[in-house]
Chains A and B, each alone.
Chain A
């Protein structure tokens, strides 16, 4: 394997930070949610890379569980977004201010 494993970790860190910046600067709730998915993907890449470095399989099992939890999270999150949209007719994060003091 000619590519050092650190490069994979670097790509993963940059992807994670891209997702973080997206959550911070975007205001559409759906796009913010997509950015969270990107962060989860970046973490999966870290798991697989470290798994290869350690020579085990536990990381890939962890990725499997992350995938399942992500699927459940997306389903519930999108249902919440749909119900917010029914009430507010908007997917703007600034419209959701009921809990703000």
Chain B
């Protein structure tokens, strides 16, 4: 019962904030709605037993990435209004129409597929007394150790690329 109410609250918050993010005109408000949506998603991760992912969601997404977004929005000027005139004809109508089509397709596929799983465990992850964080760490550092190390190369490449992109030319 409590599970269901928490789920409904978090799902409604996530969906409502997501829709509000698309509809609102100010970019800063959109960023704040996105933070609300991500926090609600962290709650959804929590009640499914994915504690490590929930913490990561709050720290990395709602924390670091959204700070970066708000920083860039502030840097580029918040007062610039998005003009409402659409140069492409029927762009909005076709966009919303395609989205509705996608909803119909997803519902059709979802209803047509049977998600028959024999025994649904209460929470993801390990069977023994080990907690979720320990289990994820064990899996990450044993089975997925090489991809994990390659990820660090990706991060370094991203940092160097950002510096090259953002640097002003010294001459000219």
Within 8 A of B (CB), among A1-26: 1-3, 5-11, 13-15, 17-22, 24-26
A41: chain B residues at CB < 8 Å are: 37-38, 41, 57, 61
Contact with A along B23-57 (1 / 0, CB 8 A): 00001001100100110010011011110110011
A76: chain B residues at CB < 8 Å are: 158, 161-162, 165
User: Taking the nearest CB of chain A, how far is it from the CB of B49, in angstroms?
Assistant: 7
A56: chain B residues at CB < 8 Å are: 124
A69: chain B residues at CB < 8 Å are: 151, 154
Residue of B15, B76, B135 ringed by the most chain A CB atoms within 10 A: B76
B94: chain A residues at CB < 8 Å are: 24
A78: chain B residues at CB < 8 Å are: 68-69, 72
Determine if B115 and A17 form an interchain contact, defined as CB atoms under 8 angstroms apart: no
Does A61 lie at the interface of the complex (its beta carbon under 8 Å from any beta carbon of B)?
yes
Bound CA span A18–B53, Å: 22
Determine if A26 and B15 form an interchain contact, defined as CB atoms under 8 angstroms apart: no
B120: chain A residues at CB < 8 Å are: 1, 5, 52-53
B47: chain A residues at CB < 8 Å are: 3
Determine if B166 and A60 form an interchain contact, defined as CB atoms under 8 angstroms apart: no
- Report the nearest A residue to B22, measured CB to CB: A22
Given that A48-B124, A61-B144 are contacting pairs, would A74 and B65 also be in contact in the complex, using a CB cutoff of 8 Å? yes
Contact with A along B77-110 (1 / 0, CB 8 A): 0001011001100011011101100110011001
Bound CA span A5–B155, Å: 34
User: Taking the nearest CB of chain B, how far is it from the CB of A43, in angstroms?
Assistant: 11
A48: chain B residues at CB < 8 Å are: 44-45, 48, 50, 53, 124
Seen from chain A, the residues whose Cβ lies within 8 Å of a Cβ on chain B are: 1-3, 5-11, 13-15, 17-22, 24-28, 30-31, 33-35, 37-38, 41, 44-45, 48-49, 51-61, 63-65, 67-76, 78-83, 85, 90-92, 94
Seen from chain B, the residues whose Cβ lies within 8 Å of a Cβ on chain A are: 1, 3-4, 7, 11, 14-15, 18-19, 21-22, 27, 30-31, 34, 37-38, 41, 44-45, 47-50, 52-53, 56-57, 60-61, 64-65, 68-69, 72-73, 75-76, 80, 82-83, 86-87, 91-92, 94-96, 98-99, 102-103, 106-107, 110, 115, 117, 119-126, 135-136, 139-140, 144, 147, 151, 154-155, 157-159, 161-162, 165-166
